Amino acid sequence: MSAPEAGRPGAPGPDPSDGRGDPRRVAWWTVGVLVVVSVWLAAMLTPWGTIASGDPALLSEVFDRTQIDRANRFHAEMRWASYLSLACGLLVALWLGLTRSGLALVRRVAGRLRWWWIQVVVAVAAVTLVGWLVTLPFRVWQESVLREWGVSTQTWGAWLVDQAKAFGVGVGLSGVALVLLVGVARLLPRWWFLPAGAGVAALVFGMSFAYPLLIEPVFNSFEPMPDNRLRGDLLEMAARDDVPVDEVLVADASRRTTNLNAYVSGLGSTQRIVVYDTLLEDTPPAQIESIVAHELGHAKNDDVQTGSIVGSVTAATLVVALWFVMSSRWVRRLGVSGMADPVAVAVVLALANLMVLVGSPFESMISREIEARADRHALELTGDPESMMGVQKTMSRANLSDVEPPWLVYVMFASHPTPLERVTMAGQWAEDHDAGEP
């Protein structure tokens, strides 16, 4: 079967056992090895046991009840919109990618175009657009809540521009990855999972580092921080931490939000400290240094590189596992001939949406441990637990952080320890060092 024939609806998929080796056996072995490597990397590179159990006694000492109640009301409103958006987006993706009627609609939109790669791009754009339109009312709802609570500072026009940018970036990144995936499948219909897995792994790894250079400027403008005492203190702290930093930049976050944040982006000698301009308005310098020290902890421990490696291996595992799906009779009964069929991208997008949700608790669990390690690094670097406690109080008030998230929300979606867990760590660190511990 030629590659063009493979793209026709109803064309038979590749026989995984016909001569010239057995790709099914190789795929099983490859998946097995990659799963073991993924689990081993996650187990060995995650700093387990770093999170401090929240001390309820500190709740009233650091956070006032009015602040907690206000944040609880805010998140109660936001969650309804978030959950409905998540559910509707997932259902639409599953319908378009895993049902005959949905796939027939995708083929009707994209299948009549002349070139297969154009079909792939149009199919990706169509599936993404339907999901974008279905979830748009819920995102409008979320933005309305953010405005009501004084968190969003955008005009509706600026908000729509950001939404359009996010849509374009999503379609662009997905389109490139899926054009490569389908292209490899058309060249190597029986063995595509090997080069495709390697290619997707390389793409995931590369995008982790390209993101600050290519994507961040799409949404924010950056200016060098004026040559003042704070800038000097931040650069001196980075030098003391042996983290090479090229520049301190200020992001124009205030045109979008009142949230406070800072981060370190880039690689090696091109790393830069990025501070939200909102953070510079009223935040004490010692608290800004505590926030930046946390971010330096990520750079010091190579967290971006570690996450990129684990993410790349996981992505390769899923691509190889995708070979079994695309070789199955079930997919052919849906009217998709295999991975070489451009409409197969709708199946991939549906499964990707599902896997993001399934993997969310595991990703969040690992992320919380890594964030806790960065907190501990900040304490060691600054020696200032009081400022870390102050940071949590200041940021929780400004960002309306959920100090007491519901258990299921914490397990599924919390990428950071709770503010209570973080101030508990600071308190324990202070006690340990007062007691003479190193």
Q: What is the pLDDT of residues 234-256, one digit of tens each?
A: 999 999 999 998 889 999 999 99
Instruction: Point out the least confidently predicted range of 260-264, 314-318, 363-367, 413-417.
Output: 260-264
Residue 292 Cα to chain centre, angstroms: 21
Phi/psi of residue 302, nearest 5 degrees: 55, 45
Q: Does residue 18 carry a pLDDT above 80?
A: no
Ordered alpha helix ranges (H), 149-191: 156-187
421-437 in b/e burial notation, b at 16+ Cβ within 10 A? bbbbbbbbbbeeeeeee
Q: Does residue 13 carry a pLDDT above 50?
A: no
Element (H, E) at 365: helix 344-382
pLDDT score at 5:
43
User: Which superfamily is assigned to 222-296 in CATH?
Assistant: Metalloproteases ("zincins"), catalytic domain (3.30.2010.10)
Residue 22 DSSP label: -
For 50-69, what is the mean pLDDT?
88
For 282-311, what is the mean pLDDT?
94
Q: What is the pLDDT of residues 80-136, one digit of tens each?
A: 999 999 999 999 999 999 999 999 999 999 988 989 999 999 999 999 999 999 999
Q: Does residue 269 carry a pLDDT above 70?
A: no
pLDDT score at 271:
82
Side chain identity at residue 186, one-letter code: R
Q: Does residue 30 carry a pLDDT above 50?
A: yes
pLDDT score at 14:
47
Inter-axis angle of helices 285-300 and 303-326, nearest 10: 50
Q: What does the mean pLDDT of the chain come to?
A: 92
The Cα–Cα gap between 340 and 326 comes to: 9
Q: Cα torsion at 192, 195, 196, 199 (round to 10°)?
A: -170
The Cα–Cα gap between 139 and 164 comes to: 13
Cβ(333)–Cβ(61) below 8 Å: no
Cβ(306)–Cβ(45) below 8 Å: yes
For 305-310, what is the mean pLDDT?
92
pLDDT score at 212:
83
pLDDT score at 126:
98
Measure CA of the first residue to CA of the last residue in the chain; give whole Å: 68
Q: Does residue 19 carry a pLDDT above 50?
A: no
Q: Does residue 10 carry a pLDDT above 70?
A: no
For 354-379, what is the mean pLDDT?
97
What are the residues facing 248 on neighbouring strands?
273
The Cα–Cα gap between 22 and 6 comes to: 20
Q: Write out the two tokens for 230.
A: 């704070």
Confidence band of 434 (pLDDT split at 50, 70, 90): confident
Confidence band of 12 (pLDDT split at 50, 70, 90): very low
DSSP notation for 120-146: HHHHHHHHHHHHHHHHHHHHHHHHHHH
Ordered alpha helix ranges (H), 215-260: 216-219, 229-240
The Cα–Cα gap between 88 and 130 comes to: 11
The Cα–Cα gap between 342 and 321 comes to: 19
**What are the residue ranges of CATH 3.30.2010.10 in the chain?**
222-296
Q: Does residue 4 carry a pLDDT above 50?
A: no
% pLDDT > 90, the chain:
83
The Cα–Cα gap between 108 and 116 comes to: 14
Q: What is the pLDDT of residues 182-213, one digit of tens each?
A: 999 999 999 999 999 999 999 999 888 888 88
Instruction: Point out the least confidently predicted range of 44-58, 95-109, 413-427.
Output: 44-58
